[in-house]
Amino acid sequence: MTTAGDAVWWQRGVIYQIYPRSFQDSNGDGIGDLEGIRRRLPYLRWLGVDAIWISPFYPSPMADFGYDVADYCNIDRIFGSLADFDHLMADAHIAGLKVILDFVPNHTSDRHPWFEESRHSIDNPKRNWYIWRDPKPDGGPPNNWYSHFGGPAWTFDPNTGQYYCHLFLREQPDLNWRNADVRAAMHGVLRFWLDRGVDGFRVDVMSHLIKDEALRDNPPNPAWREGRPDIERLLQIHSGDRPEVHDVVAELRALTEEYDDRVLIGEIYLPIERLMAYYGRDLRGAHLPFNFHLLLAQWDARNIERLIAEYDAAVPPGGWPNWVLGNHDQHRIASRIGAAQTRVAALLLLTLRGTPTLYYGDELGMPDGTIPPEAVHDPWEKNEPGRGFGRDPERTPMQWTADPGAGFSEGRPWLPLAEGWQTRNVASEMDAPRSLLRLYRALIALRRETPALSIGSFRLVPAEGNLLAYDRAAADDTLRIVLNLGAEPADAPTAPGGTVIFSSSGARTDEHVGASTALAGGEGLIVRLGG
Protein backbone atom coordinates (compact mmCIF):
# COMPACT_ATOMS: atom_id res chain seq x y z
CA MET A 1 0.00 0.00 0.00
CA THR A 2 1.12 3.55 -0.73
CA THR A 3 2.28 5.46 2.33
CA ALA A 4 2.70 9.22 2.72
CA GLY A 5 6.45 8.74 2.49
CA ASP A 6 6.56 7.03 -0.89
CA ALA A 7 3.69 8.80 -2.67
CA VAL A 8 4.89 11.18 -5.38
CA TRP A 9 3.61 14.69 -6.09
CA TRP A 10 1.13 13.71 -8.76
CA GLN A 11 -0.42 11.15 -6.41
CA ARG A 12 -0.62 13.38 -3.35
CA GLY A 13 -1.35 16.65 -5.10
CA VAL A 14 -4.20 18.51 -6.75
CA ILE A 15 -3.96 19.48 -10.43
CA TYR A 16 -5.49 22.76 -11.61
CA GLN A 17 -6.33 23.17 -15.30
CA ILE A 18 -5.80 26.58 -16.87
CA TYR A 19 -7.32 27.45 -20.23
CA PRO A 20 -4.81 30.17 -21.10
CA ARG A 21 -7.06 32.30 -23.29
CA SER A 22 -9.38 32.76 -20.35
CA PHE A 23 -7.30 32.96 -17.19
CA GLN A 24 -5.64 36.37 -17.10
CA ASP A 25 -4.87 38.90 -19.80
CA SER A 26 -1.82 41.07 -19.12
CA ASN A 27 -1.75 43.26 -22.23
CA GLY A 28 -5.33 44.37 -22.75
CA ASP A 29 -6.05 42.41 -25.94
CA GLY A 30 -8.92 40.55 -24.28
CA ILE A 31 -7.12 37.19 -24.45
CA GLY A 32 -5.29 35.61 -21.55
CA ASP A 33 -1.53 35.02 -21.76
CA LEU A 34 1.45 33.45 -20.01
CA GLU A 35 2.44 36.63 -18.21
CA GLY A 36 -1.12 36.79 -16.89
CA ILE A 37 -0.80 33.28 -15.49
CA ARG A 38 2.51 34.23 -13.88
CA ARG A 39 0.91 37.19 -12.14
CA ARG A 40 -1.77 34.93 -10.73
CA LEU A 41 0.63 32.41 -9.20
CA PRO A 42 0.11 33.92 -5.72
CA TYR A 43 -3.59 33.07 -6.05
CA LEU A 44 -2.84 29.47 -6.98
CA ARG A 45 -0.47 29.22 -4.05
CA TRP A 46 -3.14 30.64 -1.77
CA LEU A 47 -5.66 28.13 -3.11
CA GLY A 48 -3.16 25.39 -2.34
CA VAL A 49 -3.04 23.41 -5.58
CA ASP A 50 0.14 21.50 -6.43
CA ALA A 51 0.33 21.61 -10.21
CA ILE A 52 -1.02 23.56 -13.14
CA TRP A 53 -1.85 22.00 -16.48
CA ILE A 54 -1.99 24.67 -19.17
CA SER A 55 -4.01 24.00 -22.33
CA PRO A 56 -2.04 24.65 -25.57
CA PHE A 57 -0.23 27.94 -26.07
CA TYR A 58 1.84 27.00 -29.15
CA PRO A 59 1.77 28.96 -32.42
CA SER A 60 -1.56 28.14 -34.00
CA PRO A 61 -4.04 29.53 -36.53
CA MET A 62 -6.57 28.89 -33.71
CA ALA A 63 -9.04 26.93 -35.80
CA ASP A 64 -9.49 24.85 -32.63
CA PHE A 65 -8.08 27.46 -30.24
CA GLY A 66 -4.61 26.05 -29.94
CA TYR A 67 -5.37 22.36 -30.42
CA ASP A 68 -4.24 22.94 -34.00
CA VAL A 69 -0.51 23.33 -33.52
CA ALA A 70 1.67 24.92 -36.21
CA ASP A 71 4.93 24.71 -34.25
CA TYR A 72 5.37 22.45 -31.23
CA CYS A 73 8.43 24.22 -29.88
CA ASN A 74 7.36 27.81 -29.58
CA ILE A 75 4.73 30.10 -28.09
CA ASP A 76 1.95 31.82 -30.00
CA ARG A 77 2.41 35.57 -30.01
CA ILE A 78 -1.05 35.95 -28.45
CA PHE A 79 0.23 34.16 -25.35
CA GLY A 80 3.74 35.65 -25.22
CA SER A 81 7.19 34.26 -25.93
CA LEU A 82 9.53 31.48 -24.86
CA ALA A 83 11.08 33.99 -22.47
CA ASP A 84 7.64 34.53 -20.90
CA PHE A 85 7.24 30.79 -20.63
CA ASP A 86 10.60 30.36 -18.91
CA HIS A 87 9.74 33.19 -16.55
CA LEU A 88 6.39 31.61 -15.72
CA MET A 89 7.92 28.20 -15.15
CA ALA A 90 10.74 29.51 -12.98
CA ASP A 91 8.31 31.47 -10.81
CA ALA A 92 5.90 28.52 -10.63
CA HIS A 93 8.71 26.31 -9.40
CA ILE A 94 9.75 28.89 -6.84
CA ALA A 95 6.12 28.89 -5.66
CA GLY A 96 6.27 25.09 -5.36
CA LEU A 97 3.96 24.50 -8.30
CA LYS A 98 4.58 21.87 -10.97
CA VAL A 99 3.89 22.77 -14.59
CA ILE A 100 2.19 20.28 -16.93
CA LEU A 101 1.92 21.04 -20.65
CA ASP A 102 -0.70 19.99 -23.13
CA PHE A 103 0.89 17.78 -25.80
CA VAL A 104 -1.22 17.45 -28.95
CA PRO A 105 0.27 14.53 -30.88
CA ASN A 106 -2.68 13.14 -32.83
CA HIS A 107 -2.84 15.98 -35.33
CA THR A 108 -1.10 19.18 -36.35
CA SER A 109 -2.50 22.32 -37.88
CA ASP A 110 -2.88 22.19 -41.65
CA ARG A 111 -0.46 25.12 -41.56
CA HIS A 112 2.26 23.15 -39.84
CA PRO A 113 5.28 23.03 -42.21
CA TRP A 114 5.16 19.21 -42.03
CA PHE A 115 1.68 19.16 -43.50
CA GLU A 116 2.45 21.87 -46.03
CA GLU A 117 5.25 19.64 -47.30
CA SER A 118 3.16 16.52 -47.07
CA ARG A 119 0.35 17.88 -49.20
CA HIS A 120 2.77 19.22 -51.77
CA SER A 121 3.16 16.00 -53.77
CA ILE A 122 2.59 12.25 -53.47
CA ASP A 123 6.33 11.54 -53.43
CA ASN A 124 7.20 14.21 -50.89
CA PRO A 125 9.34 12.73 -48.08
CA LYS A 126 6.75 13.95 -45.57
CA ARG A 127 3.80 12.45 -47.48
CA ASN A 128 3.67 9.46 -45.19
CA TRP A 129 3.79 11.63 -42.06
CA TYR A 130 0.03 12.01 -42.44
CA ILE A 131 -2.71 9.59 -43.50
CA TRP A 132 -3.41 9.94 -47.21
CA ARG A 133 -5.59 7.58 -49.25
CA ASP A 134 -7.09 7.35 -52.72
CA PRO A 135 -10.78 8.06 -53.11
CA LYS A 136 -13.20 5.16 -53.26
CA PRO A 137 -14.04 4.16 -56.87
CA ASP A 138 -17.09 6.46 -56.68
CA GLY A 139 -14.82 9.35 -55.69
CA GLY A 140 -15.98 9.33 -52.07
CA PRO A 141 -13.84 9.24 -48.93
CA PRO A 142 -11.81 6.10 -48.14
CA ASN A 143 -14.09 5.02 -45.28
CA ASN A 144 -17.12 6.07 -43.24
CA TRP A 145 -15.42 7.73 -40.28
CA TYR A 146 -16.84 10.94 -38.87
CA SER A 147 -14.95 13.94 -37.55
CA HIS A 148 -15.56 14.70 -33.86
CA PHE A 149 -16.80 18.10 -34.89
CA GLY A 150 -19.31 16.90 -37.48
CA GLY A 151 -19.00 15.82 -41.10
CA PRO A 152 -16.60 13.28 -42.58
CA ALA A 153 -13.14 12.60 -41.16
CA TRP A 154 -11.63 12.96 -44.65
CA THR A 155 -10.96 15.94 -46.86
CA PHE A 156 -10.11 15.69 -50.55
CA ASP A 157 -7.03 17.55 -51.67
CA PRO A 158 -7.43 18.29 -55.41
CA ASN A 159 -3.75 19.09 -55.76
CA THR A 160 -2.74 15.43 -55.40
CA GLY A 161 -6.11 13.72 -55.88
CA GLN A 162 -6.14 12.00 -52.48
CA TYR A 163 -8.00 12.39 -49.21
CA TYR A 164 -6.31 13.06 -45.86
CA CYS A 165 -7.65 11.86 -42.55
CA HIS A 166 -8.68 14.25 -39.75
CA LEU A 167 -10.57 12.94 -36.75
CA PHE A 168 -11.19 16.57 -35.79
CA LEU A 169 -11.35 19.65 -38.06
CA ARG A 170 -10.11 19.57 -41.62
CA GLU A 171 -7.60 22.13 -40.34
CA GLN A 172 -6.27 19.38 -38.02
CA PRO A 173 -4.78 16.63 -40.22
CA ASP A 174 -3.92 13.45 -38.30
CA LEU A 175 -0.29 12.46 -38.05
CA ASN A 176 0.67 8.92 -38.99
CA TRP A 177 2.02 7.46 -35.76
CA ARG A 178 2.86 4.21 -37.54
CA ASN A 179 5.71 6.14 -39.15
CA ALA A 180 8.95 5.94 -37.12
CA ASP A 181 10.04 9.39 -38.35
CA VAL A 182 6.89 10.94 -36.89
CA ARG A 183 7.52 9.25 -33.58
CA ALA A 184 11.12 10.42 -33.53
CA ALA A 185 10.12 14.00 -34.33
CA MET A 186 7.46 14.02 -31.61
CA HIS A 187 9.87 12.54 -29.10
CA GLY A 188 12.15 15.45 -29.93
CA VAL A 189 9.28 17.79 -29.06
CA LEU A 190 8.86 16.18 -25.65
CA ARG A 191 12.58 16.43 -24.99
CA PHE A 192 12.54 20.10 -25.95
CA TRP A 193 10.07 20.83 -23.14
CA LEU A 194 11.46 18.33 -20.64
CA ASP A 195 14.91 19.87 -21.06
CA ARG A 196 13.29 23.23 -20.28
CA GLY A 197 12.12 21.76 -17.00
CA VAL A 198 8.41 21.00 -17.45
CA ASP A 199 7.01 18.46 -15.02
CA GLY A 200 4.85 16.43 -17.36
CA PHE A 201 2.32 16.28 -20.15
CA ARG A 202 -1.37 15.85 -20.62
CA VAL A 203 -1.58 13.97 -23.91
CA ASP A 204 -4.47 15.04 -26.12
CA VAL A 205 -6.77 12.27 -27.47
CA MET A 206 -4.26 9.58 -26.52
CA SER A 207 -6.43 6.66 -27.56
CA HIS A 208 -6.74 7.86 -31.17
CA LEU A 209 -3.05 7.99 -32.01
CA ILE A 210 -3.12 4.71 -33.92
CA LYS A 211 -5.85 3.88 -36.39
CA ASP A 212 -6.77 0.51 -37.85
CA GLU A 213 -4.07 -0.45 -40.31
CA ALA A 214 -6.63 -1.26 -43.02
CA LEU A 215 -8.74 1.79 -42.12
CA ARG A 216 -11.86 -0.37 -41.93
CA ASP A 217 -15.29 1.24 -41.68
CA ASN A 218 -16.60 1.82 -38.17
CA PRO A 219 -19.82 -0.12 -37.45
CA PRO A 220 -23.08 1.69 -36.64
CA ASN A 221 -23.74 2.52 -33.00
CA PRO A 222 -27.11 0.98 -32.10
CA ALA A 223 -27.42 3.35 -29.12
CA TRP A 224 -27.17 6.52 -31.24
CA ARG A 225 -30.25 8.71 -31.09
CA GLU A 226 -31.40 11.94 -32.65
CA GLY A 227 -29.86 14.92 -30.91
CA ARG A 228 -26.52 13.23 -30.27
CA PRO A 229 -23.46 14.37 -32.27
CA ASP A 230 -22.60 12.81 -35.63
CA ILE A 231 -19.44 11.29 -34.23
CA GLU A 232 -21.55 9.00 -32.05
CA ARG A 233 -23.41 7.53 -35.02
CA LEU A 234 -20.66 4.94 -35.34
CA LEU A 235 -18.76 2.87 -32.79
CA GLN A 236 -15.23 4.21 -33.02
CA ILE A 237 -13.55 0.86 -32.84
CA HIS A 238 -11.36 1.22 -35.93
CA SER A 239 -10.56 4.93 -35.67
CA GLY A 240 -9.19 4.60 -32.15
CA ASP A 241 -8.29 2.43 -29.17
CA ARG A 242 -6.28 0.00 -31.31
CA PRO A 243 -4.03 -2.45 -29.47
CA GLU A 244 -0.88 -0.99 -31.08
CA VAL A 245 -1.48 2.37 -29.40
CA HIS A 246 -0.11 0.94 -26.17
CA ASP A 247 3.35 0.60 -27.69
CA VAL A 248 3.26 4.27 -28.63
CA VAL A 249 2.19 5.24 -25.12
CA ALA A 250 4.88 3.02 -23.56
CA GLU A 251 7.47 4.87 -25.63
CA LEU A 252 6.17 8.21 -24.39
CA ARG A 253 6.30 6.90 -20.83
CA ALA A 254 9.83 5.58 -21.21
CA LEU A 255 10.98 8.91 -22.58
CA THR A 256 9.28 10.80 -19.75
CA GLU A 257 11.04 8.57 -17.27
CA GLU A 258 14.46 9.47 -18.58
CA TYR A 259 13.77 12.57 -16.51
CA ASP A 260 13.09 12.56 -12.77
CA ASP A 261 9.68 12.89 -11.25
CA ARG A 262 7.62 13.69 -14.36
CA VAL A 263 4.04 12.70 -15.06
CA LEU A 264 2.29 11.42 -18.17
CA ILE A 265 -1.48 11.95 -18.27
CA GLY A 266 -3.74 10.69 -21.05
CA GLU A 267 -6.95 12.27 -22.30
CA ILE A 268 -9.13 9.22 -22.91
CA TYR A 269 -12.90 9.08 -23.21
CA LEU A 270 -13.55 5.36 -22.91
CA PRO A 271 -15.63 3.05 -20.74
CA ILE A 272 -13.89 2.02 -17.53
CA GLU A 273 -12.75 -1.40 -18.70
CA ARG A 274 -11.17 0.05 -21.87
CA LEU A 275 -9.67 2.99 -19.98
CA MET A 276 -7.71 0.68 -17.69
CA ALA A 277 -5.62 -0.62 -20.59
CA TYR A 278 -3.98 2.83 -20.71
CA TYR A 279 -2.12 2.16 -17.47
CA GLY A 280 -0.21 -0.11 -19.83
CA ARG A 281 1.14 -3.59 -19.72
CA ASP A 282 3.11 -3.86 -16.46
CA LEU A 283 2.04 -0.28 -15.75
CA ARG A 284 4.26 1.02 -18.55
CA GLY A 285 1.53 3.33 -19.92
CA ALA A 286 0.15 6.64 -18.68
CA HIS A 287 0.63 7.40 -14.99
CA LEU A 288 -2.85 8.87 -15.01
CA PRO A 289 -5.29 7.91 -17.74
CA PHE A 290 -7.82 10.67 -17.13
CA ASN A 291 -10.99 9.38 -15.52
CA PHE A 292 -13.84 11.46 -16.95
CA HIS A 293 -16.68 9.38 -15.61
CA LEU A 294 -17.80 11.95 -13.02
CA LEU A 295 -17.91 14.51 -15.81
CA LEU A 296 -20.34 12.45 -17.79
CA ALA A 297 -22.36 10.77 -15.04
CA GLN A 298 -25.87 11.67 -14.07
CA TRP A 299 -25.79 13.26 -10.60
CA ASP A 300 -27.56 10.48 -8.79
CA ALA A 301 -26.18 8.89 -5.63
CA ARG A 302 -26.73 5.27 -6.67
CA ASN A 303 -25.35 5.91 -10.11
CA ILE A 304 -22.25 7.69 -8.77
CA GLU A 305 -21.77 4.96 -6.17
CA ARG A 306 -21.88 2.29 -8.88
CA LEU A 307 -19.38 4.14 -10.99
CA ILE A 308 -16.99 4.70 -8.07
CA ALA A 309 -17.19 1.01 -7.15
CA GLU A 310 -16.60 -0.07 -10.73
CA TYR A 311 -13.68 2.30 -11.22
CA ASP A 312 -12.07 1.52 -7.89
CA ALA A 313 -12.26 -2.21 -8.53
CA ALA A 314 -10.88 -1.86 -12.05
CA VAL A 315 -7.72 0.19 -11.34
CA PRO A 316 -4.86 -2.30 -11.73
CA PRO A 317 -2.71 -3.11 -8.71
CA GLY A 318 -0.06 -0.42 -8.42
CA GLY A 319 -2.00 1.94 -10.70
CA TRP A 320 -3.03 5.30 -9.27
CA PRO A 321 -6.65 6.48 -9.65
CA ASN A 322 -7.76 10.01 -10.57
CA TRP A 323 -10.96 12.05 -10.81
CA VAL A 324 -12.01 15.00 -12.94
CA LEU A 325 -15.05 17.25 -12.36
CA GLY A 326 -14.65 19.73 -15.17
CA ASN A 327 -12.63 20.60 -18.24
CA HIS A 328 -12.66 22.90 -21.25
CA ASP A 329 -14.72 20.45 -23.33
CA GLN A 330 -17.65 19.80 -20.99
CA HIS A 331 -20.32 22.02 -19.53
CA ARG A 332 -19.45 23.43 -16.12
CA ILE A 333 -20.24 21.37 -13.05
CA ALA A 334 -22.28 24.25 -11.51
CA SER A 335 -24.52 24.25 -14.58
CA ARG A 336 -24.70 20.48 -14.86
CA ILE A 337 -25.75 19.76 -11.28
CA GLY A 338 -26.97 23.16 -10.05
CA ALA A 339 -25.43 25.56 -7.55
CA ALA A 340 -26.94 23.75 -4.55
CA GLN A 341 -24.82 20.67 -5.23
CA THR A 342 -21.49 22.34 -5.95
CA ARG A 343 -20.33 22.06 -2.34
CA VAL A 344 -21.05 18.33 -2.27
CA ALA A 345 -19.22 17.98 -5.59
CA ALA A 346 -16.17 19.73 -4.12
CA LEU A 347 -16.17 17.33 -1.18
CA LEU A 348 -16.49 14.37 -3.49
CA LEU A 349 -13.66 15.44 -5.79
CA LEU A 350 -11.30 16.12 -2.89
CA THR A 351 -12.07 13.08 -0.75
CA LEU A 352 -12.18 10.28 -3.30
CA ARG A 353 -9.11 8.11 -3.64
CA GLY A 354 -7.05 9.44 -6.53
CA THR A 355 -5.56 12.62 -7.91
CA PRO A 356 -8.18 15.36 -8.35
CA THR A 357 -8.11 17.70 -11.33
CA LEU A 358 -9.90 21.00 -10.85
CA TYR A 359 -10.91 23.19 -13.79
CA TYR A 360 -10.26 26.94 -13.39
CA GLY A 361 -13.27 28.82 -12.09
CA ASP A 362 -15.06 25.73 -10.78
CA GLU A 363 -13.71 26.68 -7.36
CA LEU A 364 -15.88 29.83 -7.62
CA GLY A 365 -18.92 27.95 -8.86
CA MET A 366 -18.71 29.64 -12.25
CA PRO A 367 -21.68 28.57 -14.41
CA ASP A 368 -21.65 28.10 -18.16
CA GLY A 369 -21.67 31.43 -19.94
CA THR A 370 -24.45 32.49 -22.28
CA ILE A 371 -22.98 32.94 -25.73
CA PRO A 372 -24.99 35.01 -28.21
CA PRO A 373 -24.68 33.81 -31.82
CA GLU A 374 -22.36 36.66 -32.79
CA ALA A 375 -19.95 35.74 -29.98
CA VAL A 376 -19.60 32.04 -30.90
CA HIS A 377 -16.00 30.95 -31.36
CA ASP A 378 -15.99 27.18 -30.95
CA PRO A 379 -15.78 25.34 -34.30
CA TRP A 380 -17.98 22.53 -33.03
CA GLU A 381 -20.80 25.00 -32.36
CA LYS A 382 -20.26 26.46 -35.82
CA ASN A 383 -20.40 23.02 -37.47
CA GLU A 384 -23.37 21.64 -35.53
CA PRO A 385 -25.09 24.82 -34.32
CA GLY A 386 -27.76 25.14 -31.67
CA ARG A 387 -27.51 21.59 -30.38
CA GLY A 388 -25.66 22.29 -27.16
CA PHE A 389 -22.31 20.85 -28.26
CA GLY A 390 -20.48 24.20 -28.29
CA ARG A 391 -17.69 24.58 -25.74
CA ASP A 392 -17.55 28.37 -25.44
CA PRO A 393 -19.89 28.36 -22.40
CA GLU A 394 -17.31 26.57 -20.24
CA ARG A 395 -14.43 28.73 -21.50
CA THR A 396 -15.55 32.18 -20.35
CA PRO A 397 -13.00 34.40 -18.59
CA MET A 398 -11.95 33.78 -15.02
CA GLN A 399 -13.79 36.07 -12.64
CA TRP A 400 -11.31 37.87 -10.42
CA THR A 401 -13.01 41.05 -9.28
CA ALA A 402 -16.12 43.17 -9.74
CA ASP A 403 -14.20 45.64 -11.93
CA PRO A 404 -15.10 45.99 -15.62
CA GLY A 405 -13.71 42.92 -17.40
CA ALA A 406 -13.87 41.04 -14.06
CA GLY A 407 -10.19 41.80 -13.49
CA PHE A 408 -9.48 39.39 -16.34
CA SER A 409 -8.76 42.03 -18.93
CA GLU A 410 -8.65 45.76 -19.35
CA GLY A 411 -9.81 45.21 -22.90
CA ARG A 412 -12.86 43.47 -24.27
CA PRO A 413 -12.81 39.81 -23.18
CA TRP A 414 -12.71 37.38 -26.14
CA LEU A 415 -15.80 35.63 -24.76
CA PRO A 416 -18.51 37.30 -22.71
CA LEU A 417 -18.29 36.98 -18.93
CA ALA A 418 -20.62 34.45 -17.37
CA GLU A 419 -23.66 35.78 -15.60
CA GLY A 420 -23.22 36.80 -11.96
CA TRP A 421 -19.53 37.65 -12.25
CA GLN A 422 -20.05 40.90 -10.35
CA THR A 423 -20.65 38.90 -7.17
CA ARG A 424 -19.15 35.51 -8.00
CA ASN A 425 -15.48 36.39 -8.21
CA VAL A 426 -12.24 35.69 -6.39
CA ALA A 427 -12.19 39.01 -4.51
CA SER A 428 -15.68 38.68 -3.09
CA GLU A 429 -15.39 34.96 -2.35
CA MET A 430 -12.08 35.43 -0.58
CA ASP A 431 -13.85 37.79 1.79
CA ALA A 432 -16.84 35.53 2.42
CA PRO A 433 -16.04 32.82 4.97
CA ARG A 434 -18.78 30.49 3.67
CA SER A 435 -18.01 30.89 -0.04
CA LEU A 436 -17.35 27.93 -2.33
CA LEU A 437 -13.84 29.27 -2.90
CA ARG A 438 -13.13 29.16 0.84
CA LEU A 439 -14.57 25.64 0.96
CA TYR A 440 -12.22 24.50 -1.82
CA ARG A 441 -9.24 26.10 -0.15
CA ALA A 442 -10.02 24.51 3.22
CA LEU A 443 -10.59 21.10 1.63
CA ILE A 444 -7.34 21.25 -0.31
CA ALA A 445 -5.50 22.17 2.90
CA LEU A 446 -7.20 19.36 4.82
CA ARG A 447 -6.33 16.88 2.11
CA ARG A 448 -2.71 17.99 2.20
CA GLU A 449 -2.39 17.49 5.96
CA THR A 450 -4.43 14.28 6.16
CA PRO A 451 -2.80 11.14 4.71
CA ALA A 452 -6.12 9.25 4.99
CA LEU A 453 -7.54 11.65 2.38
CA SER A 454 -4.58 11.95 0.04
CA ILE A 455 -3.18 8.44 -0.05
CA GLY A 456 -5.41 6.41 2.27
CA SER A 457 -7.44 3.34 1.43
CA PHE A 458 -11.02 3.58 0.20
CA ARG A 459 -14.14 1.63 1.08
CA LEU A 460 -17.73 2.33 0.12
CA VAL A 461 -20.24 2.25 2.97
CA PRO A 462 -23.78 1.08 2.19
CA ALA A 463 -26.15 4.04 1.89
CA GLU A 464 -29.59 4.67 0.50
CA GLY A 465 -31.57 7.20 -1.45
CA ASN A 466 -29.60 10.33 -2.23
CA LEU A 467 -26.78 9.53 0.17
CA LEU A 468 -23.26 8.52 -0.66
CA ALA A 469 -20.93 7.28 2.08
CA TYR A 470 -17.37 5.98 2.16
CA ASP A 471 -14.37 5.61 4.42
CA ARG A 472 -10.83 6.72 3.84
CA ALA A 473 -8.18 5.35 6.17
CA ALA A 474 -4.44 5.54 6.73
CA ALA A 475 -2.54 4.16 9.73
CA ASP A 476 -4.98 4.49 12.66
CA ASP A 477 -6.97 7.38 11.19
CA THR A 478 -10.35 6.53 9.64
CA LEU A 479 -12.56 9.18 8.08
CA ARG A 480 -16.17 8.68 7.07
CA ILE A 481 -17.40 10.92 4.26
CA VAL A 482 -21.17 11.33 3.97
CA LEU A 483 -22.72 13.34 1.15
CA ASN A 484 -26.31 14.22 0.41
CA LEU A 485 -26.72 14.42 -3.36
CA GLY A 486 -30.37 15.34 -3.00
CA ALA A 487 -32.29 18.48 -2.03
CA GLU A 488 -34.19 16.86 0.86
CA PRO A 489 -32.77 16.22 4.35
CA ALA A 490 -31.63 12.64 4.98
CA ASP A 491 -30.04 10.57 7.75
CA ALA A 492 -26.54 9.46 6.87
CA PRO A 493 -24.79 6.38 8.26
CA THR A 494 -22.13 7.51 10.74
CA ALA A 495 -20.84 5.82 13.92
CA PRO A 496 -21.04 6.59 17.61
CA GLY A 497 -17.92 8.28 18.87
CA GLY A 498 -17.32 10.09 15.58
CA THR A 499 -16.48 13.78 15.39
CA VAL A 500 -17.14 16.06 12.45
CA ILE A 501 -13.85 17.50 11.23
CA PHE A 502 -15.21 19.22 8.15
CA SER A 503 -18.64 20.29 7.04
CA SER A 504 -19.76 21.72 3.73
CA SER A 505 -21.79 24.41 5.48
CA GLY A 506 -18.86 25.33 7.71
CA ALA A 507 -21.19 25.16 10.69
CA ARG A 508 -20.81 21.70 12.20
CA THR A 509 -17.13 21.24 12.94
CA ASP A 510 -16.42 19.40 16.23
CA GLU A 511 -19.97 18.09 16.44
CA HIS A 512 -20.18 14.57 17.90
CA VAL A 513 -22.21 12.11 15.90
CA GLY A 514 -24.03 8.85 16.57
CA ALA A 515 -25.00 5.88 14.41
CA SER A 516 -26.71 8.22 12.02
CA THR A 517 -26.48 11.93 11.36
CA ALA A 518 -29.03 14.23 9.82
CA LEU A 519 -27.82 16.00 6.70
CA ALA A 520 -29.55 18.92 5.05
CA GLY A 521 -30.10 18.79 1.28
CA GLY A 522 -26.78 19.29 -0.49
CA GLU A 523 -24.83 18.87 2.72
CA GLY A 524 -21.65 16.85 3.22
CA LEU A 525 -19.53 15.97 6.24
CA ILE A 526 -16.16 14.46 6.96
CA VAL A 527 -16.31 12.58 10.24
CA ARG A 528 -13.30 11.23 12.12
CA LEU A 529 -14.37 7.87 13.46
CA GLY A 530 -13.57 7.38 17.12
CA GLY A 531 -10.84 4.88 17.94
- 241 lies in the binding site for ligand GLC (CB under 6 A): no
3-state secondary structure of 207: helix
CB of 406 to ligand GLC, least distance (A): 23
25 touches ligand GLC by CB under 6 A: no
Contact between 99 and 52 (Cβ < 8 Å)? yes
d(CA 23, CA 398): 5
Least distance from ligand GLC to the Cβ atom of residue 128, Å: 22
Contact string 85-124 vs ligand GLC (x = CB under 6 A): -------------------x--------------------
Q: Which is nearer to ligand GLC, 150 or 486 (CB)?
A: 150
Q: How many residues bind ligand GLC (CB under 6 A)?
A: 9
Please tell me the distance from the alpha carbon of residue 484 to that of residue 467, in angstroms, as a whole number: 5
| Shortest separation between residue 239's beta carbon and ligand GLC, angstroms | 13
Q: Which helix (H) or strand (E) holds 452?
A: helix 451-454
Report if residue 290 touches ligand GLC, rule: CB under 6 A. no
146 contacts ligand GLC (rule: CB under 6 A): no
Give the nearer residue to ligand GLC in terms of CB position, either 104 or 345: 104
Min. distance of Cβ 65 from ligand GLC in angstroms? 7
Is 204 a binding residue for ligand GLC by CB under 6 A? The answer is yes
The reply on whether position 53 binds ligand GLC by CB under 6 A is no
Applying CB under 6 A, which of residues 23, 53, 57, 67 lies at the interface with ligand GLC? 67
Residue nearest to ligand GLC (CB): 67
> How many Å apart are CA 119 and CA 128, to the nearest integer?
10
Contact 369, 396 (CB under 8 A): yes
Nearest to 128 by CA among 156, 165, 103: 165
Termini Cα distance of the chain: 22
Check residue 168 for interaction with ligand GLC (CB under 6 A).
yes
Q: Which is nearer to ligand GLC, 104 or 519 (CB)?
A: 104
Please, which residue, 67 or 146, has the CB nearer to ligand GLC?
Answer: 67
Cβ proximity of 266 and 288 under 8 Å: yes
CA dihedral over 244, 248, 254, 257, signed as positive or negative: negative
Report d(CA 404, CA 419) in Å as an integer. 13
Q: How many helices (H) and strands (E) does the chain have?
A: 16, 19
Nearer to ligand GLC, 167 or 525 (CB): 167
CB of 175 to ligand GLC, least distance (A): 12
- What is the SS3 string spanning 313-363? HHCCCCCCCEEECCCCCCCCHHHHHCHHHHHHHHHHHHHCCCEEEEECCHH
**How would you write 71-119 as a 3-class SS string?**
CCCCCCCCCCCHHHHHHHHHHHHHCCCEEEEEECCCECCCCCHHHHHHC
Sort residue 401 into left (φ over 0), alpha (ψ -120 to 50) or beta: beta
Q: How far apart are CB 295 and ligand GLC at their closest, in Å?
A: 12
**Cβ closest to ligand GLC, residue 22 vs residue 484:** 22
Q: What are phi and psi of 174, to 5 degrees?
A: -80, 135
Single-letter amino acid code for the residue at 204:
D
- Touching ligand GLC, residues 300-359 (CB under 6 A): 328-329
205 contributes a contact to ligand GLC by CB under 6 A: yes
Considering only residues 480-519, where is the footprint of ligand GLC by CB under 6 A?
none
For residues 527 and 499, is the Cβ–Cβ distance under 8 A?
yes
Query: In whole angstroms, what is the distance from residue 195 CA to residue 73 CA?
Result: 12
User: CA 335 from chain center: how many Å?
Assistant: 17
**Taking the complex as a whole, how short is the minimal distance between the CB of residue 205 and ligand GLC, in angstroms?**
5
Minimal distance in Å, beta carbon 202 to ligand GLC?
A: 9
Active-site residue numbers?
204, 258
Smallest separation, CB 513 to ligand GLC (Å): 42
Q: Does 64 bind ligand GLC (CB under 6 A)?
A: yes
Binding site for ligand GLC (CB under 6 A): 64, 67, 104, 168, 204-205, 267, 328-329
